Protein backbone atom coordinates (compact mmCIF):
# COMPACT_ATOMS: atom_id res chain seq x y z
CA UNK A 1 0.00 0.00 0.00
CA UNK A 2 1.32 3.46 -0.94
CA UNK A 3 1.77 6.08 1.77
CA UNK A 4 -1.11 8.28 0.59
CA UNK A 5 -3.36 5.45 -0.57
CA UNK A 6 -6.98 6.51 0.00
CA UNK A 7 -6.25 10.24 -0.20
CA UNK A 8 -8.21 12.01 -2.95
CA UNK A 9 -6.71 15.18 -4.42
CA UNK A 10 -8.73 17.31 -6.84
CA UNK A 11 -6.45 19.65 -8.76
CA UNK A 12 -7.82 22.57 -10.76
CA UNK A 13 -4.43 23.37 -12.15
CA UNK A 14 -2.27 24.52 -15.02
CA UNK A 15 1.34 25.23 -15.92
CA UNK A 16 3.95 24.24 -13.29
CA UNK A 17 3.51 25.15 -9.60
CA UNK A 18 0.25 23.34 -8.76
CA UNK A 19 0.99 20.39 -11.08
CA UNK A 20 4.34 19.99 -9.31
CA UNK A 21 2.56 19.84 -5.94
CA UNK A 22 -0.21 17.47 -6.98
CA UNK A 23 2.28 15.36 -8.92
CA UNK A 24 4.39 14.74 -5.82
CA UNK A 25 1.22 13.76 -3.94
CA UNK A 26 0.43 11.34 -6.78
CA UNK A 27 3.95 9.94 -6.52
CA UNK A 28 3.21 9.21 -2.84
CA UNK A 29 0.11 7.22 -3.81
CA UNK A 30 -2.69 9.78 -3.64
CA UNK A 31 -5.44 9.61 -6.21
CA UNK A 32 -5.11 12.87 -8.13
CA UNK A 33 -7.85 14.03 -10.48
CA UNK A 34 -6.59 16.75 -12.78
CA UNK A 35 -9.26 19.15 -14.01
CA UNK A 36 -8.44 20.45 -17.49
CA UNK A 37 -10.24 22.94 -19.66
CA UNK A 38 -11.59 21.38 -22.88
CA UNK A 39 -8.48 22.49 -24.79
CA UNK A 40 -6.24 21.12 -22.02
CA UNK A 41 -3.64 22.44 -19.62
CA UNK A 42 -1.63 24.90 -21.70
CA UNK A 43 1.56 23.23 -20.47
CA UNK A 44 0.68 20.46 -22.93
CA UNK A 45 1.63 22.93 -25.67
CA UNK A 46 4.89 24.29 -24.23
CA UNK A 47 6.76 22.00 -26.61
CA UNK A 48 6.27 18.68 -28.42
CA UNK A 49 9.74 17.21 -27.96
CA UNK A 50 9.00 14.01 -26.03
CA UNK A 51 7.42 11.65 -28.58
CA UNK A 52 5.15 14.57 -29.45
CA UNK A 53 4.36 15.33 -25.80
CA UNK A 54 5.47 18.37 -23.80
CA UNK A 55 8.55 17.86 -21.62
CA UNK A 56 6.96 20.01 -18.89
CA UNK A 57 3.70 18.05 -18.96
CA UNK A 58 5.40 14.65 -18.91
CA UNK A 59 7.55 15.66 -15.95
CA UNK A 60 4.73 17.11 -13.85
CA UNK A 61 1.67 14.97 -14.48
CA UNK A 62 2.52 11.31 -14.09
CA UNK A 63 0.10 9.30 -12.01
CA UNK A 64 -2.93 11.57 -12.49
CA UNK A 65 -6.38 11.09 -13.99
CA UNK A 66 -7.50 13.73 -16.50
CA UNK A 67 -11.03 15.04 -16.92
CA UNK A 68 -12.04 17.90 -19.21
CA UNK A 69 -14.63 20.24 -17.69
CA UNK A 70 -16.04 23.51 -18.99
CA UNK A 71 -16.61 25.34 -15.73
CA UNK A 72 -18.74 27.96 -17.45
CA UNK A 73 -21.39 25.23 -17.64
CA UNK A 74 -23.61 24.46 -14.63
CA UNK A 75 -23.42 20.72 -15.19
CA UNK A 76 -19.62 20.68 -15.16
CA UNK A 77 -19.42 22.90 -12.09
CA UNK A 78 -21.77 20.47 -10.36
CA UNK A 79 -19.48 17.56 -11.21
CA UNK A 80 -16.49 19.44 -9.81
CA UNK A 81 -18.42 20.25 -6.62
CA UNK A 82 -19.25 16.57 -6.21
CA UNK A 83 -15.57 15.71 -6.59
CA UNK A 84 -14.61 18.31 -4.01
CA UNK A 85 -17.25 17.02 -1.60
CA UNK A 86 -15.43 13.68 -1.50
CA UNK A 87 -11.89 15.07 -1.68
CA UNK A 88 -9.30 15.30 1.04
CA UNK A 89 -7.35 18.04 -0.75
CA UNK A 90 -8.34 20.68 -3.31
CA UNK A 91 -5.43 22.38 -5.07
CA UNK A 92 -5.79 25.27 -7.51
CA UNK A 93 -3.61 27.86 -9.20
CA UNK A 94 -5.98 29.78 -11.45
CA UNK A 95 -5.64 33.54 -11.95
CA UNK A 96 -6.48 35.71 -8.91
CA UNK A 97 -10.21 35.70 -8.19
CA UNK A 98 -11.09 33.03 -10.77
CA UNK A 99 -12.06 30.21 -8.38
CA UNK A 100 -14.15 32.59 -6.28
CA UNK A 101 -16.10 33.64 -9.36
CA UNK A 102 -16.70 29.98 -10.17
CA UNK A 103 -17.97 29.27 -6.65
CA UNK A 104 -14.94 27.31 -5.46
CA UNK A 105 -13.25 29.82 -3.17
CA UNK A 106 -11.52 28.34 -0.14
CA UNK A 107 -13.75 29.99 2.46
CA UNK A 108 -16.97 28.77 0.84
CA UNK A 109 -15.64 25.24 0.35
CA UNK A 110 -14.40 24.86 3.90
CA UNK A 111 -17.73 26.01 5.30
CA UNK A 112 -19.39 23.20 3.34
CA UNK A 113 -16.66 20.61 3.91
CA UNK A 114 -14.83 21.18 7.22
CA UNK A 115 -12.42 18.25 6.70
CA UNK A 116 -11.28 19.56 3.32
CA UNK A 117 -7.73 20.87 2.95
CA UNK A 118 -7.65 23.67 0.38
CA UNK A 119 -4.42 24.88 -1.19
CA UNK A 120 -4.31 27.96 -3.40
CA UNK A 121 -1.13 28.84 -5.29
CA UNK A 122 -0.86 32.37 -6.62
CA UNK A 123 1.78 34.78 -7.79
CA UNK A 124 1.89 37.17 -4.85
CA UNK A 125 -0.53 35.89 -2.20
CA UNK A 126 -3.89 37.07 -0.95
CA UNK A 127 -2.78 40.40 0.50
CA UNK A 128 -0.57 43.33 -0.42
CA UNK A 129 -0.52 45.68 -3.41
CA UNK A 130 0.43 42.96 -5.93
CA UNK A 131 -2.19 40.39 -4.91
CA UNK A 132 -4.23 40.77 -8.11
CA UNK A 133 -1.31 40.53 -10.54
CA UNK A 134 -0.85 37.61 -12.86
CA UNK A 135 2.55 36.06 -12.31
CA UNK A 136 4.84 33.72 -14.19
CA UNK A 137 8.12 32.23 -13.09
CA UNK A 138 10.52 34.65 -14.77
CA UNK A 139 8.48 37.67 -13.66
CA UNK A 140 8.80 36.52 -10.05
CA UNK A 141 12.52 35.80 -10.48
CA UNK A 142 12.81 39.49 -11.31
CA UNK A 143 10.38 40.84 -8.68
CA UNK A 144 11.83 38.75 -5.85
CA UNK A 145 15.37 40.04 -6.36
CA UNK A 146 16.70 36.68 -7.53
CA UNK A 147 17.65 38.18 -10.90
CA UNK A 148 19.64 40.91 -9.18
CA UNK A 149 22.05 38.34 -7.72
CA UNK A 150 22.06 35.93 -10.68
CA UNK A 151 24.25 36.40 -13.74
CA UNK A 152 27.62 38.08 -14.09
CA UNK A 153 29.19 41.50 -14.37
CA UNK A 154 27.51 42.00 -17.74
CA UNK A 155 23.99 41.73 -16.36
CA UNK A 156 21.27 39.66 -14.73
CA UNK A 157 20.28 36.22 -15.94
CA UNK A 158 17.35 33.85 -15.66
CA UNK A 159 17.83 30.75 -13.55
CA UNK A 160 17.67 27.99 -16.14
CA UNK A 161 14.72 26.09 -14.63
CA UNK A 162 11.37 27.32 -13.29
CA UNK A 163 12.75 27.87 -9.81
CA UNK A 164 9.90 30.05 -8.45
CA UNK A 165 7.26 27.59 -9.63
CA UNK A 166 9.21 24.69 -8.14
CA UNK A 167 9.73 26.54 -4.84
CA UNK A 168 5.99 27.19 -4.60
CA UNK A 169 5.15 23.59 -5.49
CA UNK A 170 7.57 22.23 -2.90
CA UNK A 171 6.16 24.58 -0.26
CA UNK A 172 2.63 23.47 -1.11
CA UNK A 173 3.52 19.76 -0.85
CA UNK A 174 5.13 20.27 2.55
CA UNK A 175 2.14 22.25 3.81
CA UNK A 176 -0.44 19.76 2.51
CA UNK A 177 1.36 16.82 4.12
CA UNK A 178 1.53 18.75 7.39
CA UNK A 179 -2.21 19.50 7.14
CA UNK A 180 -3.05 15.84 6.49
CA UNK A 181 -1.01 14.85 9.53
CA UNK A 182 -2.76 17.44 11.71
CA UNK A 183 -6.20 16.45 10.44
CA UNK A 184 -5.65 12.91 11.67
CA UNK A 185 -5.70 14.36 15.20
CA UNK A 186 -8.10 17.29 14.89
CA UNK A 187 -10.52 16.00 12.26
CA UNK A 188 -10.43 19.43 10.63
CA UNK A 189 -8.97 20.67 7.39
CA UNK A 190 -7.31 24.03 6.82
CA UNK A 191 -6.61 26.51 4.07
CA UNK A 192 -3.08 26.85 2.72
CA UNK A 193 -2.09 29.90 0.69
CA UNK A 194 1.21 29.65 -1.17
CA UNK A 195 2.64 32.19 -3.57
CA UNK A 196 5.55 32.06 -5.96
CA UNK A 197 6.86 35.31 -4.53
CA UNK A 198 6.79 34.26 -0.87
CA UNK A 199 8.14 30.77 -1.54
CA UNK A 200 11.12 32.23 -3.38
CA UNK A 201 11.50 35.02 -0.81
CA UNK A 202 12.16 32.38 1.82
CA UNK A 203 15.03 31.12 -0.33
CA UNK A 204 16.30 34.70 -0.63
CA UNK A 205 16.85 35.07 3.11
CA UNK A 206 20.66 34.91 3.04
CA UNK A 207 21.15 37.82 0.60
CA UNK A 208 18.26 39.66 2.27
CA UNK A 209 19.82 39.34 5.73
CA UNK A 210 23.26 40.25 4.42
CA UNK A 211 21.82 43.44 2.96
CA UNK A 212 19.30 44.32 5.68
CA UNK A 213 21.77 43.92 8.55
CA UNK A 214 25.15 44.38 6.90
CA UNK A 215 24.47 46.63 3.93
CA UNK A 216 26.14 44.06 1.68
CA UNK A 217 24.90 43.50 -1.88
CA UNK A 218 26.13 40.13 -3.21
CA UNK A 219 27.78 40.74 -6.58
CA UNK A 220 26.72 38.89 -9.70
CA UNK A 221 29.77 36.73 -10.24
CA UNK A 222 28.71 34.11 -12.77
CA UNK A 223 30.35 30.77 -12.01
CA UNK A 224 32.71 32.31 -9.46
CA UNK A 225 32.27 32.62 -5.72
CA UNK A 226 32.19 36.30 -4.72
CA UNK A 227 34.10 35.94 -1.44
CA UNK A 228 36.30 32.83 -1.85
CA UNK A 229 39.19 32.35 -4.28
CA UNK A 230 39.93 30.25 -6.13
CA UNK A 231 36.37 29.00 -6.34
CA UNK A 232 35.09 29.09 -9.89
CA UNK A 233 35.05 27.73 -13.39
CA UNK A 234 38.11 27.37 -15.63
CA UNK A 235 38.17 26.45 -19.32
CA UNK A 236 40.29 23.49 -20.38
CA UNK A 237 42.07 22.68 -23.63
CA UNK A 238 39.03 20.93 -25.14
CA UNK A 239 36.81 23.96 -24.53
CA UNK A 240 35.06 22.24 -21.62
CA UNK A 241 35.19 23.63 -18.10
CA UNK A 242 35.81 22.46 -14.55
CA UNK A 243 34.63 24.30 -11.47
CA UNK A 244 36.58 23.74 -8.25
CA UNK A 245 36.55 25.07 -4.70
CA UNK A 246 39.25 25.87 -2.16
CA UNK A 247 37.92 26.14 1.39
CA UNK A 248 41.06 26.48 3.51
CA UNK A 249 44.82 26.92 3.38
CA UNK A 250 45.54 23.20 3.53
CA UNK A 251 43.50 22.71 0.35
CA UNK A 252 45.23 25.67 -1.27
CA UNK A 253 48.60 24.02 -0.64
CA UNK A 254 47.39 20.68 -2.06
CA UNK A 255 45.95 22.38 -5.13
CA UNK A 256 49.18 24.22 -5.90
CA UNK A 257 51.45 21.25 -5.23
CA UNK A 258 49.44 18.27 -6.50
CA UNK A 259 47.04 19.58 -9.14
CA UNK A 260 48.63 22.70 -10.59
CA UNK A 261 52.25 21.57 -10.24
CA UNK A 262 53.10 25.03 -8.88
CA UNK A 263 54.03 24.70 -5.18
CA UNK A 264 55.55 28.19 -5.34
CA UNK A 265 52.06 29.72 -5.62
CA UNK A 266 51.17 28.43 -2.15
CA UNK A 267 53.78 30.70 -0.55
CA UNK A 268 53.40 33.67 -2.87
CA UNK A 269 52.55 36.60 -0.54
CA UNK A 270 49.84 37.74 -2.94
CA UNK A 271 47.99 34.47 -2.43
CA UNK A 272 48.85 33.25 1.10
CA UNK A 273 45.36 33.82 2.53
CA UNK A 274 41.83 33.80 1.16
CA UNK A 275 41.44 37.55 1.63
CA UNK A 276 44.64 38.21 -0.35
CA UNK A 277 43.58 35.79 -3.07
CA UNK A 278 40.24 37.57 -3.38
CA UNK A 279 41.96 40.97 -3.49
CA UNK A 280 44.38 39.71 -6.13
CA UNK A 281 41.88 37.59 -8.07
CA UNK A 282 43.03 38.81 -11.50
CA UNK A 283 46.65 37.96 -10.75
CA UNK A 284 45.59 34.62 -9.31
CA UNK A 285 43.59 33.75 -12.41
CA UNK A 286 46.52 34.77 -14.60
CA UNK A 287 48.47 31.92 -12.97
CA UNK A 288 45.69 29.30 -12.96
CA UNK A 289 44.02 29.87 -16.34
CA UNK A 290 46.99 28.77 -18.51
CA UNK A 291 47.40 25.55 -16.51
CA UNK A 292 43.80 24.53 -17.07
CA UNK A 293 43.99 25.62 -20.71
CA UNK A 294 46.88 23.20 -21.26
CA UNK A 295 44.96 20.07 -20.23
CA UNK A 296 41.78 18.28 -21.27
CA UNK A 297 38.81 18.59 -18.89
CA UNK A 298 38.85 14.96 -17.78
CA UNK A 299 42.61 15.05 -17.18
CA UNK A 300 42.23 18.17 -15.05
CA UNK A 301 39.34 16.64 -13.14
CA UNK A 302 41.47 13.56 -12.40
CA UNK A 303 44.27 15.76 -11.03
CA UNK A 304 41.83 17.63 -8.78
CA UNK A 305 40.33 14.39 -7.52
CA UNK A 306 43.75 12.92 -6.78
CA UNK A 307 44.64 16.08 -4.86
CA UNK A 308 41.39 15.75 -2.83
CA UNK A 309 40.07 19.07 -4.14
CA UNK A 310 36.29 19.41 -4.44
CA UNK A 311 35.33 19.93 -8.07
CA UNK A 312 32.53 19.54 -10.57
CA UNK A 313 32.56 19.34 -14.33
CA UNK A 314 30.51 22.12 -15.92
CA UNK A 315 28.24 19.64 -17.66
CA UNK A 316 26.51 20.34 -20.93
CA UNK A 317 23.14 18.72 -21.57
CA UNK A 318 25.04 16.21 -23.69
CA UNK A 319 27.01 15.35 -20.55
CA UNK A 320 23.85 15.23 -18.42
CA UNK A 321 22.11 12.85 -20.81
CA UNK A 322 24.80 10.22 -20.23
CA UNK A 323 25.99 11.18 -16.73
CA UNK A 324 27.22 8.11 -14.81
CA UNK A 325 25.56 9.33 -11.60
CA UNK A 326 22.06 9.48 -13.12
CA UNK A 327 19.16 7.37 -11.88
CA UNK A 328 16.40 6.71 -14.41
CA UNK A 329 12.80 5.59 -14.39
CA UNK A 330 10.39 4.58 -17.14
CA UNK A 331 7.02 6.36 -17.28
CA UNK A 332 4.27 5.57 -19.74
CA UNK A 333 2.77 8.42 -21.76
CA UNK A 334 -0.01 8.49 -24.37
CA UNK A 335 2.64 8.22 -27.09
CA UNK A 336 4.90 5.62 -25.50
CA UNK A 337 7.27 5.04 -22.59
CA UNK A 338 9.72 7.77 -21.63
CA UNK A 339 12.96 7.33 -19.71
CA UNK A 340 13.13 10.18 -17.20
CA UNK A 341 15.59 11.28 -14.56
CA UNK A 342 14.28 9.86 -11.28
CA UNK A 343 13.27 11.95 -8.25
CA UNK A 344 15.96 12.65 -5.69
CA UNK A 345 14.90 10.22 -2.94
CA UNK A 346 15.47 6.49 -2.82
CA UNK A 347 13.01 4.62 -0.61
CA UNK A 348 14.67 1.70 1.18
CA UNK A 349 17.23 1.68 -1.61
CA UNK A 350 14.65 1.47 -4.39
CA UNK A 351 13.40 3.91 -7.02
CA UNK A 352 9.61 3.93 -6.63
CA UNK A 353 7.44 3.00 -9.58
CA UNK A 354 5.17 5.65 -11.08
CA UNK A 355 1.84 5.60 -12.85
CA UNK A 356 1.31 6.87 -16.42
CA UNK A 357 0.97 10.41 -17.72
CA UNK A 358 -2.67 10.89 -18.80
CA UNK A 359 -3.86 11.87 -22.24
CA UNK A 360 -6.10 14.92 -22.43
CA UNK A 361 -9.46 13.96 -20.97
CA UNK A 362 -8.52 10.28 -20.91
CA UNK A 363 -10.70 9.65 -17.86
CA UNK A 364 -13.53 12.09 -18.60
CA UNK A 365 -16.30 9.61 -19.33
CA UNK A 366 -15.50 7.37 -16.38
CA UNK A 367 -15.15 10.26 -13.94
CA UNK A 368 -18.34 11.94 -15.11
CA UNK A 369 -20.16 8.72 -14.35
CA UNK A 370 -18.43 8.25 -10.99
CA UNK A 371 -19.18 11.78 -9.82
CA UNK A 372 -22.62 12.26 -11.32
CA UNK A 373 -25.37 13.34 -8.92
CA UNK A 374 -26.94 9.88 -9.00
CA UNK A 375 -23.71 8.29 -7.78
CA UNK A 376 -23.43 10.38 -4.61
CA UNK A 377 -23.88 8.47 -1.34
CA UNK A 378 -27.13 9.07 0.51
Residue that wins the pLDDT comparison between 172 and 373:
172
Whole-number pLDDT of residue 368: 96
Mean pLDDT of 294-323: 96
Per the annotation, the verdict on 225 as an active-site residue is yes
Q: Which residues contact 226 (CB under 8 A, 6 or more apart)?
A: 218, 219
Contact between 206 and 132 (Cβ < 8 Å): no
Find, among 333, 328, 367, the residue nearest to 31 by Cα.
Answer: 367
282-306: pLDDT as tens digits:
999 999 999 999 999 999 999 999 9
pLDDT confidence band for 320 (50 / 70 / 90): very high
Spatial separation of the C-alpha atoms in residues 142 and 136, rounded to whole Å = 10
SS3 label, residue 8? strand
Tell me if 80 sits within 8 A of 35, measured CB to CB.
yes
The reported pTM is 0.92
Domain boundaries, the chain: 8-205+335-375, 231-313
- Report in angstroms the alpha-carbon separations of 70 from 12, 37, 65, 78, 80: 12, 6, 17, 11, 10
Among candidate residues 48, 198, 225, 323, the one labeled active-site is 225
At the topology level, CATH places domain 231-313 in formyl-coa transferase, domain 3 (3.30.1540)
Confirm if 80 and 104 have CB atoms less than 8 A apart.
yes
DSSP 333: -
Report the share of the chain in percent with pLDDT over 70.
Answer: 98
User: Which CATH number is associated with domain 8-205+335-375?
Assistant: 3.40.50.10540
- The CA–CA distances, whole Å, from 93 to 112, 122, 194, 225, 346 equal 21, 6, 10, 36, 29
Q: To 5 degrees, how large is the angle CA 46–CA 52–CA 53?
A: 50
> pLDDT band at 378, cuts 50/70/90?
very low
Q: Does the pLDDT value for residue 191 go beyond 70? A: yes
Residue 143 pLDDT grade (very low, low, confident, very high; cuts 50, 70, 90): very high
pLDDT score for 353: 87
Q: What are the contacts of 332-337 at 24+ separation with CB within 8 A? A: 332/356, 332/357, 333/50, 333/51, 333/53, 333/58, 333/357, 334/53, 334/358, 334/359, 334/362, 335/50, 335/51, 335/52, 335/53, 336/51
Rounded to an integer, the average pLDDT of 157-168 is 96
Amino acid sequence: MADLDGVLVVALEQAVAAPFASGRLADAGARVIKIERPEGDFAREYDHLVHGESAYFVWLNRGKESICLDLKQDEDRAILMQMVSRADVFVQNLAPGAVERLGFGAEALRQKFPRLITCSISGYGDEGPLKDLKAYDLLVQAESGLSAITGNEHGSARVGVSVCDIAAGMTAVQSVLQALYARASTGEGRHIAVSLYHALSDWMNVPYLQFAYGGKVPPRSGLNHPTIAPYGSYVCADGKSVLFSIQNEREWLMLCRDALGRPDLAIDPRFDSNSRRVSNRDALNAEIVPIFASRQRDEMADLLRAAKIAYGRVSTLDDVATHPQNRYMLVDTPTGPVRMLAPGALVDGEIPSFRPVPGLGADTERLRLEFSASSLPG
